[in-house]
Structure 1
Amino acid sequence: MKHIHKGLVCGLALSLTCVAVSAQTEIPSGLDVDSLNNSVEVAFRTVEKNDLLGGVSVVNMKGMNQKAYSNYSLSFLNNEIAGFNGNIWGMGDYLVVVDGMVRDGNNVLPQEIEQITVLKGAAAVVLYGSRAAKGVVQITTKRGRIGETRINVSLNSGMYVPKAYPKYLGSAQYMTLYNEARANDGLVPAYSETEIYNHGSGLNPYRYPNLNMYSDEFLRSMYNRSEAIAEISGGSNRVQFYTTAGYYRESTLLKVGNAADNYTSRFFVRGNVDIKMNDYIKVQTDANVTFYDNFTASTDWWKQASTLRPNRISPLIPLSYLEENDMNSWNIINGSNYLIDGKYFFGGTQLDPTNPVADAYAAGDSKYVSRQFQFNTNFDIDLRSLLQGLHFRAKYGIDYASTYNQGYSNKYATFSPTWTNYAGKDLIATITQYNKDEKSGSQNISNSSYRYTYNLSGQFDYARTFAEDHNVFGMILANVWQTQASGKYHRVSNMNLGLQASYNYKHKYYIDFSAAMPYSTKLPDGGRAGFSPTVTLGWRLTGEDFFKNTPFDDLMLTASAGVIEQDLDITTSDNEEGYYLYKSILQRGGWYSWADLGGEAATEFQRGDNMDMTYIKRKEVSVGLRGSMWNKLIEFDLNFFMNDVDGGLARANSLYPIYFTQVGYPTSSIIPYVNYNKDSRKGIDFAVAVNKKVGEVDLRLGVTGMYTKSTIEKRDENYAYAYQSRMGKALNGLWGLQSDGFFTTAEEIAAAPQQFGEVKPGDIKYIDQNGDNTIDSNDEVFLGRSDIPMVLG
């Protein structure tokens, strides 16, 4: 089924400042430098924007929210961040970090966010450990400022209008085309010309249904989403605070039955507090509570709209078609608990004893309930009494979420009329009932689940500037987070040590070494500790004399190389959690007995041991170029990257003798999973913007984009034909039979290779790739990529 496309066509925004204050020049006393001073949050630290090395992009959400409205925290990233297109550099699932804690990106609204940093390069993500190997989206929420209390209230309301609906065929059209399809297959018509005429005439849509589930009989022309958010911030030199509370409610397009009351709502309260205990100790304490509800009537409207045939059923039938003296039919109908508006009863048939309209009225309802509590605290201890520039920082956070469904599940009766025509008037002669009304009155609680995540990190930072030109930074880090979820035996864990050493001379020449030592229980004892080193070099060309008289305000060239060891991809289709894949599986198998002991069965190996299994490695080289021209009239950022994901798990049969596998019944194999597969990605992302101030209006016109190419470099294959080899082809490749047009005559079919099934003129003709005169799986070839290589934002 096509999805409904929705657009925001009407909006209202109101911002009220209840207490006005003048601009402040002091830097707030929180742990981080104020982002208004061009600082950027990266992994476990804050850096000046000018000192950013390659593979990092940032969005100033506070400024963005003043220019555009959004109701999802990451909705701007596709357009604002080069290299982001639902994932980062095409690598897959990225890690989301909110205020230093691993959390959901959808539990924070854009209005609460100060800044979003996207860490793309290997050197940028390495300190977060193994599970950040495919990139990090780092969200920083707003914090209080020194100054008088400010209260800001925002009201937003929007109307969503369907842009297009799927074309719903009328009954007569459907029945005609269905007959035509049967005729093409040599079958007799399913519907007579009289039936088709009656359904198309519209004279009695209850006897001859012509259902359109996208009609205005069931759907509103638009629906509304409204929200109100209040922000309170301020503070003194000792304490700053930021508090926000908000509520939004969204309605639905459906206006039939209980579905007319469908809604989604969210209420939240967030509080961020920065406390300066003394000249040496600073503390941040944050908390967030979210109440999310989604109420729906128990009808799968959109799915059934894609499958329910328009001529099959009339969902509501008027009582007026019942004969007054037909007491049997009246007694049956009056026994129903669901007479809609006292005028209609539910229509049904033996093939369709229920229908989506009746479901919306009588099948019950369900309310999805989600409650989430988050708390984190950060400590910053200045150890300058021991060593100037030395800090100890620690973070601890918890995230608890619980969800469940509550509602009522009912059964209801439908009625199939037998029609007659008396004196030129259609009437119902008899009624057949399907199902019966059952309403327990008991509320059901189902799908109860929970998820608990804790984050803990501690680090020593050292930052000093010597002789005004030599800037040094060092970090030693321990980081751990773990998630436990209902229904999951193993917890999702990330544990790593981190090390960073950076130096720059006059903010012109840069060198950075960042590394992590991950630890994974997915690997065998003795091989659970890894090492992920990265090195980055930077050169600010505009710091050189030969760039003094050029149009460039700033021009920064960076180059980075590194290896990240990760366990994200230590998983298989039958073991999504990925634990104990290094161990053999030995089990009883077979159905027959053997030897002298009755009932003894065969022994099966499902796989063998591999105590040398190790991390999967992201090996990467990247080059970045960032700068601006003509007093920031033009700003640009480009990154070229090449990375290999090496050591993917496979059962590589070609590495082992044939007798390692038992062919026949019962099957058995001692071939283990090994680090074998290799994939390659390369590409370039770019962002270019033109900035111009016209009077009091700031104009910005920009474009972001990415070109990528992914290739399968290594697989254990056993294809009979070289053209079926996956190596050298795209990771997201499409494979299938290649069309050679359509069959036009029976003679052409007879002369062609044997196709799939029974073929008639008008069917697709496929190419016999291997020349065996039979179309089968051996004729499947590479058809192309499943996406487009070039993406623009």
Structure 2
Amino acid sequence: MKQIKIISALCLAVAFLLPAAGSAQTNRQIRKNNKSDIKKEESLPEDTVFVMPQVDSVQVAFRKVAKRDLLGDVSALNLSQLLEKNYTTSTLENLDALLSGFNGNIWGMGGYLVLVDGIPRDINNIMPTEIDQISVLKGVNAVALYGSRAAKGVLYITTKRGGNYEQKVNVRANTGLNVPKSYPQFLGSAEYMTLYNEARRNDGLPDLYSQQTIYNYASGTNPYRYPNVDYYSSDYLRNSYGRNDLTAEISGGNNRTRYYTNLGYWSVGSLLNFGEAVKNSGANRFNIRGNIDVKLNKIISLNVDATASFYTGKGVNTDYWGSAATVRPYRFAPLIPISMIEPGDAASLAQANNSNNIINGGYLLGGSQLDQTNSFASIYAGGYNRNVSRQFQFNTGINFDLSSLMQGLSFKTMLAVDYSSAFNQSYNNTYSVYEAAWNNYAGVDQISGLTKYGIDARSGVQNVSGSAYRQTISFSGQFNYARTFKQKHNVTGSLLGYGFNISESAVYHATNNANLGLQLGYNYDHRYYADFSGAYVYSAKLPIANRGAFSPTLSLGWRISEEAFLKNSEMVDQLKVTASAGILNTDLDINNYNLYQGYFTYNDAAWYSWRDGGLVHTFDRRRGDNPNLKFPQRREINLGLEGSLYKNLINFTASAFFSQMRGNVVQPGVLYPSYLTTGFPVYSDIPYVNYDNDQRRGFDFGIRMNKRIGEVDWTLGVTGTYYDTKATKRAESYQFDYLNRTGKPLDALWGLQSMGFFTSNADIAASPAQSFGQVKPGDLKYKDQNGDGIIDTRDEVYLGKGGWMGAPMTLGVNLTAKWKNITLFVLGTGRYGAKAMKNSSYFWVDGEDKYSVVVRDRWTPETQATATYPRLTTASSDNNFRSSDFWLYSTNRFDLSKVQLSYQFPANLFGKGFVRELGIYASGMNLLTIAPEREILELNVNTSPQTRFYNLGVKALF
């Protein structure tokens, strides 16, 4: 470990310090001797919500392509420019509103490949300030060269690099507050007891709490004897918590060496505001990146990139938010006041004074026999922990210009080695809690005795647990060819080998990807296009004979605006149509190795066959063989449209896709005779086969309009993504057709159809038999779909889409208004078409659960006409609390995700001073949600709350 740290430090020193100093010196020498070598820094492209004419080039697979020659199925965003008016704290924040085709996943497929500078890396380990461009590769032609692991799309991040300009230093500082949107609302002690008594009466049981007890808890006169604990009160939580960050970027270079360095730090606090959480709750992260490009001679150039990040998350040794959602408010008082102990109770006073944990000089830790450990005591005295993670990433590449051998020929290599590690450090203390015995003297409550549970002990030992590591080794080598013949015939080609290996702790088989790739492209005068991209992929998960397969794709394009009938059009500036199709072989959804092989397990004498005292030893068949198991295939056809109208007043792109995943690997018992599998003894001769098919289809679009009105420059951008999925083939054998998953969405929600509440015993007697337990008036009544007189799982029906791969319809709207040096940016996001179940413990309440406010609308004989919640019960309510349309709600929403107001100080204000540019801005995130079920969508249970974020920032160029 020590050696690794030393090597890392040396690498970082070389990567970050020497080039910056050397390049700065070189710049000074060049400025002195030959000013013509320093070019004026080129203006960077404007931010885009999709690929726009202002974008010079877009990163695609293994190369950059001029925007005008892009053949669809790719969306790109220049994040470096967007940050000038839209400060963001996370790489993926609001990308679904800025990139068409991306809604958190790509075209309804989960599991896209994240590449940072061509290397598979953790997207959470890169900050927005480090990023130049984000490309989303969606279609089969766009991702083919990356092989099997890219079959569900690629999100490609290109980091910033230096340029041929004088050294510049960009500094950005931000400070902000996270303010909770809402907290769960639970009943207080007295109301809980009242309704719990009602639940017992519903079950035919006597009341548990007397009216005097309920009154004592309701009065609030002694919260230590009659606690009414609100975990979300200001006694324990702050109104807000802060986040701060600071970033410095140093870049520059000349015609031989270019460099970019990024140093960043951020810290974030916590809502918890007592005990150990005050100083040991929150997180911080430091990162440093260096990217260097060197031209050694006319033939050879190279790049060396290195980055390191150091994350520390601090926390307490308890799940406070989980306790807040589950522990009933009257269970115990968090603190016991020493001042309320009877003066004559020497034993209790001595016990209190000898405690190792006297809180705020006058309180003991509260608890009970059932609550000997609890979140309050753990935060005050249970110690703390730190989650530590470190990541070091290094990659280098060498480029060879082989034009001396063949004009347009080059060779490029890349090698990357990444290491990450994580572990937990904790100090685990034990503690005592106390339960008070109370007396009342002349109306005054006093403690007449203390019962102690637990032992106070601080070991001082640091415990290390949860160690994990990850190593990624990636390599690629490629021959590239690009040449223009007779000024109109543009030919490109790439022949490449690419692979990576990801090893993780506690995972026996590493994640591998290895493939050969071929790209051949031609366009005539940038008017007619053809691009072939294919890969030969390999997978060790398949039988030896089927481990290799070829994935061919083809794209065609036609720039219609270059034709004579449109070339002089006053309306159409640019118009291009594209089409692509292909087949990708992938093992991405094959979840294990050797599934093609059958296997046996040895049963070591688990049962007797005869009454002779002899145990049976058997070999049990568990799976059949399938030597013909093959790659599942993604088969797809896409159409694209891109253009601009009225001298770039309106720019637009659109794509439509039809995709199938064929031959998904399953173990389909229904396709084989029943005698091939038994329950006891356990036996199965069913193999894994390529059988299930899925279908996805949809479209995405992006529109941007630019207009100057008076002295204000307006830009309006709209993006949208719609997708629909269907299970087109399934191995299933249901008795009734409506139960079939074939023909239904892949994210289908299934459940019973509610018909309201049972109103009386006569209503129950006249209804079908209930198989989910005894029902009473006030319980849910369901429709008997098959008419067999029994309500069971065979009456479940399709209820709606769950949106598990993102909402079926996503819309993004962004508006920019610039007046002189003031810029206003507004971003909104809409998500539509999905549903969800109210199935958390906040809504499904029975037994000894903590009651939320939803139970106030429970069914009673008096409220049966207006009730919206089933009757209360102290028993298990399997009939009521199961998936049904009663608990279904719409997740449709529109969010005002971002508003930022920026001001750039005039450049002439600083003259030739040290500061070249200065800007300030104020922003708000997650400001408003418009939705029919807003309260549910903004509610977090069992975890920290959702927040709104208000930020002030300053940026300067030196």
- TM-score when normalising by structure 2: 0.78
Decide which of 784, 792, 795 is 1:776's aligned counterpart: 792
Aligned-partner SS, 2:594: coil
Deviation of 1:199 after TM superposition, in Å, equals: 0.9
Deviation of 1:315 after TM superposition, in Å, equals: 0.2
Q: Which amino acid is 1:86 matched to?
A: G
Decide whether the 8 Å contact of 1:362 with 1:410 is kept in 2: yes
Structure 1 stretch 765-774 or stretch 58-67: which is displaced more? 765-774
Decide which of 615, 628, 635 is 2:644's aligned counterpart: 628
Deviation of 1:664 after TM superposition, in Å, equals: 4.7
Alignment: residue pair count:
762
Q: Deviations over 1:201-246 (max 9, x none)?
A: 1100111001111111111111111111111111111101001111
Aligned-partner SS, 2:322: helix
The 2-side partners of 1:594 and 1:187 are apart by 49
The 2-side partners of 1:109 and 1:36 are apart by 25
Decide whether the 8 Å contact of 1:244 with 1:271 is kept in 2: yes
Decide whether the 8 Å contact of 1:185 with 1:760 is kept in 2: no
Partner of 2:573: 553
What RMSD, in angstroms, separates the aligned Cα atoms of the two structures?
1.9
Aligned-partner SS, 1:332: helix
Deviation of 1:651 after TM superposition, in Å, equals: 1.8
Partner of 2:265: 247
Q: Which amino acid is 2:560 matched to?
A: L
**Residues 43, 268 of structure 1: alpha-carbon distance in 2 compared, 3 angstrom cutoff:** same
Task: Answer yes or no: is 1:730 the counterpart of 2:745.
Answer: yes
Q: Which amino acid is 2:312 matched to?
A: D
Decide whether the 8 Å contact of 1:116 with 1:140 is kept in 2: yes
The 1-side partners of 2:711 and 2:292 are apart by 35
Aligned-partner SS, 1:278: coil
Task: Answer yes or no: is 1:370 the counterpart of 2:389.
Answer: yes
Partner of 2:199: 181
Partner of 1:565: 585
Decide which of 602, 624, 627 is 1:588's aligned counterpart: 602
Deviation of 1:185 after TM superposition, in Å, equals: 2.6
Decide which of 639, 651, 656 is 2:655's aligned counterpart: 639
Q: Which amino acid is 2:275 matched to?
A: G
The 1-side partners of 2:724 and 2:358 are apart by 61
Partner of 2:371: 352
- TM-score when normalising by structure 1: 0.94
Q: Structure 1: any 5+ residue segments left out of the alignment?
A: 1-17, 28-34, 572-577
Q: Deviations over 1:545-575 (max 9, x none)?
A: 211214122111111111100001012xxxx
Partner of 2:906: none
**Residues 715, 37 of structure 1: alpha-carbon distance in 2 compared, 3 angstrom cutoff:** closer
The 2-side partners of 1:776 and 1:550 are apart by 66
Structure 1 stretch 329-338 or stretch 609-618: which is displaced more? 329-338
Partner of 2:255: 237
Task: Answer yes or no: is 1:604 the counterpart of 2:620.
Answer: yes
Q: Which amino acid is 2:41 matched to?
A: Q
Q: Which amino acid is 2:317 matched to?
A: S
Decide which of 124, 129, 147 is 2:142's aligned counterpart: 124
Task: Answer yes or no: is 1:519 the counterpart of 2:521.
Answer: no
Decide whether the 8 Å contact of 1:637 with 1:688 is kept in 2: yes
Decide whether the 8 Å contact of 1:605 with 1:669 is kept in 2: yes
Deviation of 1:159 after TM superposition, in Å, equals: 1.0
Decide whether the 8 Å contact of 2:317 with 2:384 is kept in 1: yes
Give the alignment of 1:480-519 within 5 angstroms: 480-519=499-538
Decide which of 680, 688, 691 is 1:676's aligned counterpart: 691
The 1-side partners of 2:439 and 2:609 are apart by 71
Partner of 1:384: 403
Decide whether the 8 Å contact of 2:482 with 2:491 is kept in 1: yes
Partner of 2:312: 293
Give the alignment of 1:157-176 within 5 angstroms: 157-176=175-194
Aligned-partner SS, 1:187: coil
**Residues 185, 593 of structure 1: alpha-carbon distance in 2 compared, 3 angstrom cutoff:** closer
Decide whether the 8 Å contact of 2:336 with 2:436 is kept in 1: no
**Residues 664, 167 of structure 1: alpha-carbon distance in 2 compared, 3 angstrom cutoff:** closer
Task: Answer yes or no: is 1:316 the counterpart of 2:330.
Answer: no
The 1-side partners of 2:789 and 2:442 are apart by 65
Q: Which amino acid is 2:664 matched to?
A: G
Task: Answer yes or no: is 1:57 the counterpart of 2:71.
Answer: no
Deviation of 1:402 after TM superposition, in Å, equals: 0.5
Give the alignment of 1:184-333 within 5 angstroms: 184-261=202-279, 262-333=281-352
Partner of 1:579: 593
Q: Deviations over 1:668-725 (max 9, x none)?
A: 1211000000011111111122223457754322221222111111111121111111
Deviation of 1:186 after TM superposition, in Å, equals: 2.5
Q: Which has the higher contact order (CA 8 A, sep 6+)?
A: 2
Decide whether the 8 Å contact of 2:499 with 2:513 is kept in 1: yes
Partner of 1:13: none
Deviation of 1:587 after TM superposition, in Å, equals: 1.4
Structure 1 stretch 548-557 or stretch 559-568: which is displaced more? 548-557
Deviation of 1:303 after TM superposition, in Å, equals: 1.0
Deviation of 1:334 after TM superposition, in Å, equals: 2.4
Deviation of 1:182 after TM superposition, in Å, equals: 2.3
Decide whether the 8 Å contact of 1:602 with 1:666 is kept in 2: no
Decide which of 548, 563, 566 is 1:544's aligned counterpart: 563
Decide whether the 8 Å contact of 1:168 with 1:214 is kept in 2: no
**Residues 664, 444 of structure 1: alpha-carbon distance in 2 compared, 3 angstrom cutoff:** closer
Partner of 1:701: 716
Q: Structure 2: any 5+ residue segments left out of the alignment?
A: 1-23, 29-37, 45-52, 813-958
Decide which of 728, 733, 748 is 2:763's aligned counterpart: 748
Decide whether the 8 Å contact of 1:593 with 1:601 is kept in 2: no
Partner of 2:669: 653
Decide whether the 8 Å contact of 1:339 with 1:345 is kept in 2: yes
Deviation of 1:509 after TM superposition, in Å, equals: 0.8
Q: Deviations over 1:147-179 (max 9, x none)?
A: 211011111111111121122322122222222
Partner of 1:10: none
Task: Answer yes or no: is 1:763 the counterpart of 2:782.
Answer: no
The 1-side partners of 2:145 and 2:402 are apart by 23
The 1-side partners of 2:288 and 2:318 are apart by 33
Aligned-partner SS, 2:625: coil
